[in-house]
Chain A
Amino acid sequence: MTQANKITGAEIVIKALIDQGVDTVFGYPGGAILPIYDELFQQKKIKHILVRHEQAATHAAEGYARSTGKIGVVFVTSGPGATNSVTGLTDALMDSVPIVVISGQVPTFMIGNDAFQEADTVGITRPCTKHNWLVKDTNKLAEIIHKAFEVAGSGRPGPVLVDVPKDVQFASGRYTKKNEIKTDFIKKEPSIDVKMLDEAINRLELAERPIIYSGGGVINSGQSAVNLLRNLVAGTNFPVTSTLMGLGSYPASGKNWLGMLGMHGTYEANMSMHDCDFMLCIGARFDDRITGRIDAFSPNSYKVHIDIDPSSINKNITVEAPLIGDVSKILSMLTARWKERGSKVNKKKLSAWWKSINNWKGVQSLGYENSSSVIKPQYAVQRLEELTKSYNRFVSTEVGQHQMWAAQFMGFEEPNRWMTSGGLGTMGYGFPASIGIQIAHPTSLVINVAGEASWLMNMQELGTAVQYRLPVKQFILNNERLGMVRQWQELLHGERYSHSWSDALPDFVKLAEAYGIKGIRCEDPARLDDSIREMIDYPGPVIFDCLVEKHENCFPMIPSGKAHNEMILGEQTEENSISDDGAVLV
């Protein structure tokens, strides 16, 4: 190969990204990644969004990825740039979000010398990525980047990191095209166990008290999986519930919808999970927020578990019928065979089952006592839902009570419309995520439902929102508390509110004005609707400071260490609800 056919490592990075169809990168420059930024400067195909902190770049990339189904891309520099990306990588790993982080690194000959802004990036990010690479040879750079995209997007999606030393960016090397790389590193899906599938269908046909429990895997699998799920629900008339990550895979307005399940799920969803005799788990992983006490979890059911990740099978809950593979592939096989066999269900028993479910629904577990003098947070979210649901709308959240209220009271008709940090529970996720979403959907209404404490964790991103004229709406339920922490302290720690209040809060309206955007404050329930409309109609970013009841608890709730049928529904039932055993759980 002649010198003429070679290009620099930095050029290779940009070329490979274009080859991968990347149009947007979130990032922050620094010494060790300057050659790549120099190349970025000299091209037009990739748009770069300058964030104000690297953590925000990763969350923005997550928001971008989850709202589009594409892979999010991040540039960070070495040392602190890379370490700041760790939270976002871990978040993406827990929630199966495909992102590719490209980090600068000190030159290869300085690695290990404690050079300026050196950190062992591949060492630090090894447990929080699906895979990571340190590139030592420019000739291998293109191949590794293409591999990185393949690993991030295939199987169960997740984050990857490519660490590129500065001398590798400067040196010249050969470019390998996307379709020229070897693909032997891709994990093969195991073949589907047809006997197991048939046994599962037998049970489905005979089920007296069935439930479908769907998760984020349905959304990750794509629109065909979503359609298959909806058709299966329609065909069987089975009730369906979903995890926090799976909201939107079945429409909230659908007649078989029971609402979210789990720790703050609805009474009907959790009781159905507990009492069912047939559970079809689709793309969910029996997380501890879902199961409650493991040994009392759905004790009498035959469990079918569809998951693309073999390590999810029997990890927390032992299932009778594991079906390993992509949700849409397995669901289409299952549906086809079930139809072949005559689309049978146990209709008579099913209508009795629906009767019990409707009785549970009658409990109205999401009920709360409204007030005319103070805005109840549930009411605020309800009004937000009512006034925005007709829009082309995307919602992100931070983490805490407001997140659960949003999950309870907002309805999602379509997948990829709801972006929240589920597995890791990252406060500070929502604002940068809303930026990523708005970048991907410039004309849509993007709302971040936030708590004031979470929101402050990445408030520096106001600069990003203003710079790129992103009309993101920051709907802050301000209770001047770390609401969920306060709730646990009330229930578990003798009402000793250790450091769970937000002191020295900024004036959010003035903060907005300082950035030249709009701030709205509302503390009167009667004015709430008008204020929300004002927020929606304003053509730029808005901070909405919604002053809400300070001591509201989020119910219903399965206390730690309790089973699904031991939910507490409200203030009056909560006394002594958590045992000493439960208190040690998170």
Chain B
Amino acid sequence: MSLKLKKGVNNQSAYNLRDPNLDYEAAHTLSIIVDNESGVLARVIGLFSGRGYNIDSLTVAEVDPNGHRSRITIVTTGTPKVVNQIKAQLNRMVPVHEVTDLTLKGKAVQRELAIFKVVGNGNQRVESLRLADVFRAKVVDSTLKSFTFELTGNSEKIDAFAELMTPLGLKEIARTGIVALLRGDNSS
């Protein structure tokens, strides 16, 4: 008997159950709590480069000054097997206290902050300001021929805004990379 189901009929469909060992790559957002000690970032990055894992995005800052803990948020791409390896390898490190795979754990709020410098005159300048308003970007600096916008959102939103600004005189972008937390009242 063959199953005659169309791919993706609904999310509960058995058709969508995939073997976890199938070779397909997906992006995973990992949230890692580490001791804020010297060299800890080098250890984490060294693990990724040394074992040939990808880093698509990386952010790090101290989140608990009293406990000297930092949160590292890494977006990585890999097959489920590789992502499991990455988590196991991270967990093995002495200064690593917690590794949460936000992608597996459920819905997460993911945000990125970016600053754009757009240089132009006349209509271009007006248009950039109008679009910034649509995107709810803030003007944080300005000269007579430039705007510096601050924009927060998910990565797609930042990408979309950057694309729109390019013909309008986009000169420079600075992006923070993704920070993320689990939705709901549970801590990750």
Whether B94 lies near A130 (C-beta < 8 A) is yes
Type the 1/0 row for B78-91, where 1 means its CB is closer than 8 Å to any CB of A: 00010011001101
Cβ-defined partner of A127 (8 Å) among B50, B84, B88, B91: B50
A315 close to B (CB within 8 Å): yes
Across-interface contacts of B50 in A (CB, < 8 A): 127
**A295 CB, min distance to chain B CBs, angstroms:** 12
Task: Given the known inter-chain contacts A151-B94, A314-B84, A318-B81, please indicate yes or no for A126 contacting B43, CB distance below 8 A.
Answer: yes
Cβ-defined partner of B94 (8 Å) among A131, A310, A313: A131
Task: Given the known inter-chain contacts A311-B85, A315-B85, A318-B21, please indicate yes or no for A122 contacting B92, CB distance below 8 A.
Answer: no
Task: Given the known inter-chain contacts A126-B46, A314-B84, please indicate yes or no for A187 contacting B92, CB distance below 8 A.
Answer: yes
Task: Given the known inter-chain contacts A131-B94, A185-B94, A318-B21, please indicate yes or no for A126 contacting B42, CB distance below 8 A.
Answer: yes
Residues of A within 8 A of B (CB): 122-123, 126-127, 130-131, 134, 151, 185, 187, 309-311, 313-315, 318
Given contacts A126-B42, A134-B39, A151-B94, could you give 14 more A-B pairs where the C-beta distance is less than 8 Å?
A122-B39, A123-B39, A126-B39, A126-B46, A130-B94, A131-B94, A131-B95, A185-B94, A187-B92, A311-B85, A311-B89, A311-B91, A311-B92, A314-B81
Across-interface contacts of A131 in B (CB, < 8 A): 93-95
Whether A134 lies near B46 (C-beta < 8 A) is no
Across-interface contacts of A313 in B (CB, < 8 A): 88
Closest to A310 in B: B88
Residues of B within 8 A of A (CB): 21, 38-39, 42-43, 46, 50, 81, 84-85, 88-89, 91-95
- Which secondary structure characterizes the binding site on chain B? helix
A311 to B86, CA, bound (A): 8
A134 to B92, CA, bound (A): 20
Across-interface contacts of B43 in A (CB, < 8 A): 126
Whether B94 lies near A309 (C-beta < 8 A) is no
**B69 CB, min distance to chain A CBs, angstroms:** 12
A122 to B40, CA, bound (A): 11
26 A-B pairs whose Cβ atoms sit less than 8 Å apart in the complex: A122-B39, A123-B39, A126-B39, A126-B42, A126-B46, A130-B94, A131-B93, A131-B94, A131-B95, A134-B38, A134-B39, A151-B94, A185-B94, A187-B92, A309-B88, A309-B92, A310-B91, A310-B92, A311-B85, A311-B89, A311-B92, A313-B88, A314-B81, A314-B84, A314-B85, A318-B81
Task: Given the known inter-chain contacts A130-B94, A318-B21, please indicate yes or no for A311 contacting B88, CB distance below 8 A.
Answer: yes
A4 to B46, CA, bound (A): 43
Closest to A150 in B: B94
A123 to B88, CA, bound (A): 22
Across-interface contacts of B95 in A (CB, < 8 A): 131, 185
A309 to B85, CA, bound (A): 11
A310 to B87, CA, bound (A): 10
A309 to B88, CA, bound (A): 8
A126 to B45, CA, bound (A): 11
Cβ-defined partner of B46 (8 Å) among A127, A130, A151, A318: A127
